[in-house]
Amino acid sequence: MTDRKAELAANLAVVEERIASACAAAGRARDEVTLIVVTKTYPASDVRLLADLGVRHVAENRDQDAAPKAAACADLPLTWHFVGQLQTNKVRSVAGYAHVVQSVDRSRLVTALSGAAQKAGRELGCLVQIALDAESGERGERGGAAPDLLGELADQVAAAPGLRLDGLMTVAPLAGPYAGREQAAFERLMELSSRLRADHPAATMVSAGMSSDLEQAVMAGATHVRVGTAVLGARPRLG
């Protein structure tokens, strides 16, 4: 094993143990939680090593980096998640490789994704990203829609050709009433998820929790955690 592969294997083992412990503490089965490794800023060679080590879900947040990486890894049995703020002019590219777009937060983006998915002849899974610190009717600074826009956006995704409504995503807010209260934030997301599932029973995904707060997300009921630094190491640059 190369040094890098051994390092990734050791980090994955630690993360796996954290997820398993959190599931046990929450009285949840381990297979209720899926690990998504966020590979942003790291090279395609790391993605390849991760796939070799059994990782099946990866995430990226910038199309410029993600598109060539996904192309270089097209032979691997991976599900690609897009988790970054998405400009409509990048949608056509993203629809070419992403299986799930987790950052759907406005009506114009839904329309663009639907058009691009149809052109590409693909079905795109979509999560509505919720900004728990956004004001009513607005988008958050790090992307995401205010909770009161959820119903409208969800209905639009569900009705859009080429798109599949899979559920919800959030990033624990740094400001506002949930700042520093990750578990409360994730519990709020779970309430929104219950409400969503009343109208859209198949939209069961709840993507929450990162390297620093995955335990709180698992405790709250998240189905997917997105872990970057705890697996790959501290990122060389902001991303």
Ligand X SMILES: *Cc1c(COP(=O)(O)O)cnc(C)c1O
What residues line the site for ligand X (CB under 6 A)?
A: 38, 40, 61, 83, 171, 210-212, 226-230
Considering only CA atoms, which of 88, 89, 69 is closest in space to residue 80?
69
Considering only CA atoms, which of 188, 195, 196, 198 is closest in space to residue 221?
188
Beta carbon nearer to ligand X, 118 or 183: 183
Beta carbon nearer to ligand X, 42 or 97: 42
Nearest position to ligand X, beta carbon: 228
Considering only CA atoms, which of 88, 158, 100 is closest in space to residue 124?
100
Beta carbon nearer to ligand X, 147 or 209: 209
Q: How far is the CB of 83 from ligand X (least distance, A)?
A: 4
Q: How far is the CB of 159 from ligand X (least distance, A)?
A: 26
Considering only CA atoms, which of 32, 20, 83, 38 is closest in space to residue 190?
32
Q: How far is the CB of 217 from ligand X (least distance, A)?
A: 11
Q: How far is the CB of 38 from ligand X (least distance, A)?
A: 4
Beta carbon nearer to ligand X, 87 or 212: 212
Instruction: Look up residue 135 and give its DSSP letter.
Output: P
97 near 124, Cβ under 8 Å?
no
Considering only CA atoms, which of 169, 49, 47 is closest in space to residue 100?
169
Considering only CA atoms, which of 104, 79, 80 is closest in space to residue 91?
104
Beta carbon nearer to ligand X, 38 or 131: 38
Q: How far is the CB of 171 from ligand X (least distance, A)?
A: 5
* Site of tokens 């705890």: 230
Beta carbon nearer to ligand X, 213 or 219: 213
Beta carbon nearer to ligand X, 83 or 154: 83
Task: For the chain, give the longest Cα–Cα distance.
Answer: 52
Q: How far is the CB of 201 from ligand X (least distance, A)?
A: 26
Alpha carbon distance 184, 199 (integer Å): 24
Stretch (H or E) spanning 59: strand 57-60
Conformation bin of residue 189: beta by default, left when phi > 0, alpha when psi is -120 to 50: alpha
Q: How far is the CB of 66 from ligand X (least distance, A)?
A: 12
